[in-house]
Structure 1
Amino acid sequence: MTDEVVKLKPRLSQRSRLIIALIYLTAGSLLAWVKLGRFPGLGSYDVWFWSGYVVIVVGTLLDAPWYTKPIDALTNAIGSLIAALGLNPDTSVAAGAFAQKFQILGIALSSVGIIIALTAIWYKDSESMRLRYLAFMGTKICAQLGAPSIMFGPIMLSSLIWSFYNQVDTLILMTIVLAVLLFGRPLERGWGFLSEAFGRGPALLRKVGKPLAWNHPGIVEFELDASAAVAPRDVVVICAPGQEAELGIVVDLFVLSDRKWGRTILTGVQLSKTDLRYSVSPGESDVGIFKVNPAQLPEDVRERLGEHPISIRADSFLGLVSDQTDILHLVFDLLTPHPELAEGSLVTTEINNDRVVYQIVNATVKERGLDAQSVRGVLSVEAVKLGKWTDAGPEPVKWVPRPNTPVFLVPPKGAAFDLSTVGVVPRSSVYVRPDINRMVHHNTAIIGVLGAGKSTIAYQIIHRMIREGINVLVIDITDQYSISLSHLFREDENRSRTTKIQMAIAPTVNRVDQSPERGGNIVDFRRALAEEMNSFMDGEDRLWIVNPQHFDVTMQEGRPSGSAAAFRHLSMVEITKHVAEAALTKVQADGLSESARLCIVLEEAHSLVPEFNSAASKQDQEAAVGTARVVMQGRKYGLGFLVVTQRTANVSKSVLNQCHTVVALRNFDLRAQEFLEPYLGPHFVRVLPTLEQHHGIVYGPGFNLQQPLLVKFWDYEEFKNAALEQWGSQILTERGVGEAEVAEENLSLDDEVPF
């Protein structure tokens, strides 16, 4: 078989065009000097002719030699309009009246050019598909109508007629000059001819395959010749009868049935018939895929090819948008494996010219092939839409990407620790910033199995709440918070609050009263609790840790029999309710508030606010309902809750359902996954059992997120050390600790951590 080739004609280089422009300008100056006895533009009437001459030479050879962008068309149109308005031919003379017709034509042409160019620029990024199409058509018109030769042609002709109407020989000569400049372009043609004649002829593009199918939009499938050497990201020219040759970028290569196949994405960059010369062997057609070295392409074609997304981000190209993509989810076949790709990685694609971020949540192996007998395995990757990323986080983006739109990996980068954030998206430098005020106002739930890191994340959030001036009341039956957060509160003051309540209720633990509701020490407990709540909220301390098991609270059951009565000891569920109600009473007394004032942390929430069918008694059921009522009513007074649990099935849904911000850590419980699915969606729920330590899925107003996001949280010890290093003085002095204690605390940190 004889080789089939296509010849790619060279275009003038920028240096060549500069030389030609200088020749044109020099020739024009010499012509004016010889014929008129002066340099161009020094006459009173021909200034606009020579101005147009310069603009056309510079514009067509240097500024926009191949095509005119809307912004260039706008510049040309405004310039020509100013020039047209500056003409003032004498209409009492026949030549002046004739020149005025071209002046009017120039004004009309310039005005239309301005309108079309502004339309193309204004609606280029419109959300309306119809307006974007209008901008596209405007761009196409600007490419032709906005050229300097079109815009300034009528102005030059008007100036020419009025300037030289009484010098017939000069008028004829200048008309010839104008025609040659606008239509002849002799120097450009001659330069190209000489380049070919002296060894700089057309490059030969050898055929490497033949197209088999056009998959709309923008994909051509092809079969490679057996000996063809083609690699992914190679540039090819697709030639077909009756169509302009178009450049494509190879995105996929594979072997099936001992034959080579591939796919190329069309770039929209076409080569005109003046750029290509077909040289086809006898019996062959001019249909084919031709490999091209981008360096051989004309300069303007090379520039436009370089603007294609795959050319710009070749190293991060992953694949193309495929079927089953919907409004919320992206599906693409992985065409370019990447070692850093994993669940949680961020990828981007375009929707209506917006770069939209997605997060990978799943990948499955699927079969693709030409028919049932010829198949290959591919990885089909699923990702969830996050939105258009801004400094404040992702913003929602409507609609879906077009089929076959390129998908790119957000380059993996190491992220330095940032105290103002809770962590980063895995394998990226995308930070996740909390909104602590909204986190409290909208209530927050931290859910995960034992050892997943729930408490350490709660510790970080508590630090931030105190930093924001929000009081934190922790109800903790494990006493772990008192140990882990000892640097944030005065232990003696915290112990004093507990002791005062214990002393207030101890004498009346078995008090008998004719009115059962006054029997026992419940009344004294409520009174002492209210006093300590007021003291805490109005004082300098920001953190109060309460263990319900440290209080022996009793209620008399029924009327006494003589001096004896039966008593019931309140459970920690009931004590939790009373603590919550005391907090609500205090914030209600302080009035409505749009800012968070107090957050109650429910550690091991399944033991403090159990689900109805998990409660140990009827009293616990009623108490859990009472706490849920406080959760519901507290928001408008600046009271919120942080619910920490590993067993969502056993936590009151009346409480959990009011937690609009969610932090979901590793979880294997099916009932927990069922509860989380409305918040996170099925894709993220499937990821929960595989989450690593300190990784979680966050969602809600507390993170300014309208879509779930997989996050790697900072290590707590690193966070704590940095918080005390940068915030310590401010936090500690606000709660009333002296400067000497602050210095001592920071000194001990310096001894342990080599900053």
Structure 2
Amino acid sequence: MFERLKNNRIIILLLFMLVFVAVHTILKGSYLPTTDTKDIWFYSGLGAMLFSLLFIEPYYTSPKNVLTNSFPLFLVFLAIYENYNNKFVWWVIFIYVCVMIVLAVICIVLSEFGKDKSEQNNFNLISNCIKEIIVKFGQGKVLYSAVFFSTLLIYYGRDSDDHKYALTMFVFWFFVLAINPKTLNTTFGISSGKKDIDVIGEIFAIQSNAIYLAKVFRDKNNIEKFETIKFKNSQGVCYKGFIFDIYELNNQRWIKIWAAEAKDLECNDFNLIYKEQFGDLEENINSFVGVVSENSNILKIKFEYSKKDRDLEEGDLIKTNIGKKTIFYQVVNAITQSAILETKNRSGFIEAEAMQLGDFNQDTLNFDKIGWVPDMYSPLFTAKEVAEEKDFEYPEYKLGVVPKTDIPVVLNLHDAISHHIALIGVTGSGKSFLAREIIRELLQDTKVICVDFNNEFIHDFGDISNIVTDDNIKVIQENINSLILEGEKYSNQQDKSKMVAWSKVIKDKFGESIKNFLTSKDKNICSFELPDLVNTTAILEYTKYFFKEIFEIAKSEEIKQRILIVIEEAHTIIPEWNFTGSNDKTSQSVINAISQIALQGRKYNIGFMVIGQRTANISKTILTQCNTMVCFQAFDDTNFNFLGNYIGKDMAMTLPAMKKYHAIVAGKALKSDLPLIVDVARNYTNRQISDK
């Protein structure tokens, strides 16, 4: 209580007035000064200096205050010119006051010109430079001290009594200037000492059901973010919470508070905030990430980021409440922002964005979309333990989890195959590791053919071998070479009957090899490898005949078997037309043969897994038929534009920052109606895994 009274502005003003009256009575024999002109100017200067220091200086922020202090002095000094004994001193003070007025006006005008411009604009640079000068030399204590000293030196000190009086007034002036206005207050505390120590401020406004704005008392400088507090609102309800933001405005410190009702808590004064330790708030503090900010919408919210450990990442799950429902969002972006607190004063903060997933359904392990937006300033928290443990039976496959949570992201592998699946991402992002794991799952009831001209899968599947036997390869090679040589002749010179016969042999040999694999009881995976053929045309013909024959077998439904064709390094096998590197009709016929499977294979139980690095150089005819998309890290604009149609533009823009073994998944096979960022890492992915 004594500390607060000691720093009270009104108490200090009364004390100085009492001291002045006592000194004046002792030295001059009267309680109050005379009405002489010199006494009026002298005591007016002293009083104005004291009043300015106690009640104006703490809130001094603008050149407008310099103008307010200087202009009355300008008028006063004009009025007393004839009665002022020392004209030289008068001119010095008058010019000084005029300079302050002119500079203040220039500063205000320049500030108006630079209002909507950057800090580096010439108007603002000059304005700020002038402002620093006039704020320093145009303060009330400086201006009124000039009046006080000039009058003291000119009108007093002529005899021994005046010497004593002048010295006493000088000491009085020194003690006035010793006041530090920033430590003063205007409150009168009458409560216990413990309350004075613990109270830090008072509630100023309610921003939402759980968010409060408060101003900090000026003598409380030991406030830190995420300290716990308590207070009692105007209705007498007690709350406990923590501070999550601190900023300065108009020389006043402000704090933002998250608080929840505490029924068993005892509080004293209304709206006063007390520091108090609450261990049970630790979980709330650690999981708090910020509050919903303006320009949020139903699909995407923006929020002002304020987290204790600063460890929020892209893909993390956060939650808030809309009514009685808990709604989940996934973080997709963050940018730095600057809030204008007052003219030329800004506060930097991070504004993040999160896409709505919805209300989590434990039964379906899906998110139900919510058609509304949370209230402004709604608090947001990280979400971790959400889902109940559950075992998944094939063809359900746990692809991974939502990052830093236990929410499983599940694919139906049968849907993934029947409607085709694509895995896109840069080298080393995790796509080939995931492809191998999915293939191992599918081997339970699916025949897998790996089209892998770089022999990547041989290292991971020990029993893998070429689907075409060596004997058949030799026969196929001979017939393809003969077919090509005959085809190079003029049309009227070609032996059409031989060409038909050679073509039939090629189809029969491919058909024999494919049927042997599909009917095999002990072999569910094989590769399609290219033999040493004479030229590029022979290679393309070989590939074309293989895909045409496998599609014909599937169409005949002679063998009812689910088939997956895995195309690794897809740009080498199914390139976009402008990446083929050849105008030969044969190259396009290969893509057409594969495209036919992509377009119609769903009806005949045959599907694709397309694995590639860039969508730009993979056939769009085939890629657009992939109804399940798993997108790992990517950098080029073509990926963003193409994948944005599947996963949304906001999600696509997160791909460059995607961590290894993190991906965005969307589509038919996903057990979610919305795209999700998923962590596909396993305990064993820390081992050295070759991934292209």
TM-score category, normalised to shorter length:
0.5 to 0.7
One-letter amino acid matched to 2:674: Q
Give the distance between the partners of 2:559 and 2:272, measured in 1 at CA. Answer: 72
**Are the counterparts in 2 of residues 432 and 711 from structure 1 also a CA contact under 8 Å?**
yes
1:447 has 2:424 as partner:
yes
CA apart distance, 1:207: 5.2
Give the distance between the partners of 1:464 and 1:605, measured in 2 at CA. Answer: 22
Give the distance between the partners of 2:480 and 2:341, measured in 1 at CA. Answer: 86
1:497 has 2:490 as partner:
no
Please, which runs of 5 or more residues in structure 1 have no aligned partner?
5-200, 279-286, 296-304, 555-567, 723-755
Aligned counterpart, 2:16: none
Q: Kindly tell me: are residues 721 and 259 of structure 1, through their superposed partners in 2, closer, same or farther at Cα, counting changes over 3 Å?
A: closer
Aligned counterpart, 1:403: 376
Give the distance between the partners of 2:309 and 2:603, measured in 1 at CA. Answer: 49
1:355 has 2:340 as partner:
no
Give the distance between the partners of 2:283 and 2:614, measured in 1 at CA. Answer: 48
CA apart distance, 1:377: 1.4
**Are the counterparts in 2 of residues 244 and 271 from structure 1 also a CA contact under 8 Å?**
no
Report SS of the residue matched to 2:398.
Answer: coil
One-letter amino acid matched to 1:330: I
Give the distance between the partners of 1:349 and 1:498, measured in 2 at CA. Answer: 63
1:364 has 2:335 as partner:
yes
> 1:255-654 residue pairs with structure 2 within 5 A?
255-257=247-249, 258-265=251-258, 267=260, 288-291=271-274, 313-389=284-360, 390=362, 393-399=365-371, 400-411=373-384, 421-466=398-443, 468-485=444-461, 487-489=462-464, 491=465, 494=466, 497-506=469-478, 509-510=481-482, 514-515=495-496, 518=499, 521-540=502-521, 541-547=523-529, 549-550=530-531, 552=533, 569-572=537-540, 574-590=541-557, 597-615=562-580, 616-617=582-583, 618-654=585-621
1:226 has 2:207 as partner:
no
One-letter amino acid matched to 2:526: W
Which moves more between the two structures, 503-512 or 686-695? 503-512
1:213 has 2:205 as partner:
yes
Superposed CA RMSD: 4.0
Give the distance between the partners of 2:459 and 2:294, measured in 1 at CA. Answer: 54
Give the distance between the partners of 1:277 and 1:715, measured in 2 at CA. Answer: 54
**Are the counterparts in 1 of residues 518 and 559 from structure 2 also a CA contact under 8 Å?**
no
Report SS of the residue matched to 1:658.
Answer: coil
Give the distance between the partners of 1:719 and 1:470, measured in 2 at CA. Answer: 29
CA apart distance, 1:454: 3.1
CA apart distance, 1:456: 2.6
| TM-score after normalising by structure 1 | 0.56
1:328-367 C-alpha deviation (Å, 9 max, x unpaired): 2232112223253222322222234333332222221112
Aligned counterpart, 1:672: 639
Aligned counterpart, 1:135: none
Report SS of the residue matched to 2:647.
Answer: helix
Q: Kindly tell me: are residues 703 and 214 of structure 1, through their superposed partners in 2, closer, same or farther at Cα, counting changes over 3 Å?
A: same
One-letter amino acid matched to 2:426: V
Give the distance between the partners of 1:376 and 1:535, measured in 2 at CA. Answer: 72
**Are the counterparts in 2 of residues 220 and 264 from structure 1 also a CA contact under 8 Å?**
yes
Give the distance between the partners of 1:235 and 1:716, measured in 2 at CA. Answer: 42
Report SS of the residue matched to 1:569.
Answer: helix
Larger Rg: 2
**Are the counterparts in 2 of residues 212 and 223 from structure 1 also a CA contact under 8 Å?**
yes
Give the distance between the partners of 2:642 and 2:480, measured in 1 at CA. Answer: 44
Aligned counterpart, 2:158: none
Give the distance between the partners of 1:336 and 1:520, measured in 2 at CA. Answer: 74
CA apart distance, 1:246: 5.7
1:97-154 C-alpha deviation (Å, 9 max, x unpaired): xxxxxxxxxxxxxxxxxxxxxxxxxxxxxxxxxxxxxxxxxxxxxxxxxxxxxxxxxx
Give the distance between the partners of 1:621 and 1:237, measured in 2 at CA. Answer: 75
1:406-425 C-alpha deviation (Å, 9 max, x unpaired): 21123599xx9x99634444
Which moves more between the two structures, 253-262 or 225-234? 225-234
Which moves more between the two structures, 522-531 or 710-719? 710-719
1:549-599 C-alpha deviation (Å, 9 max, x unpaired): 327499xxxxxxxxxxxxx93443x54443333222222222898xx8111
One-letter amino acid matched to 2:499: R
In percent, how many aligned pairs have the same letter? 23
1:13-42 C-alpha deviation (Å, 9 max, x unpaired): xxxxxxxxxxxxxxxxxxxxxxxxxxxxxx
Give the distance between the partners of 2:283 and 2:685, measured in 1 at CA. Answer: 38
| TM-score after normalising by structure 2 | 0.60
**Are the counterparts in 2 of residues 233 and 314 from structure 1 also a CA contact under 8 Å?**
no
Report SS of the residue matched to 1:650.
Answer: coil
**Are the counterparts in 1 of residues 468 and 513 from structure 2 also a CA contact under 8 Å?**
no
1:245-296 C-alpha deviation (Å, 9 max, x unpaired): 5636344331315532112346467899xx9887xxxxxxxx633437599x
**Are the counterparts in 1 of residues 242 and 257 from structure 2 also a CA contact under 8 Å?**
yes
Report SS of the residue matched to 1:672.
Answer: helix
Please, which runs of 5 or more residues in structure 2 have no aligned partner?
5-191, 487-493
Q: Kindly tell me: are residues 453 and 218 of structure 1, through their superposed partners in 2, closer, same or farther at Cα, counting changes over 3 Å?
A: closer
Give the distance between the partners of 2:686 and 2:498, measured in 1 at CA. Answer: 48
CA apart distance, 1:634: 0.9
1:444-481 C-alpha deviation (Å, 9 max, x unpaired): 11112234343332222211111x31111111111222
**Are the counterparts in 2 of residues 412 and 427 from structure 1 also a CA contact under 8 Å?**
no
Q: Kindly tell me: are residues 253 and 720 of structure 1, through their superposed partners in 2, closer, same or farther at Cα, counting changes over 3 Å?
A: closer
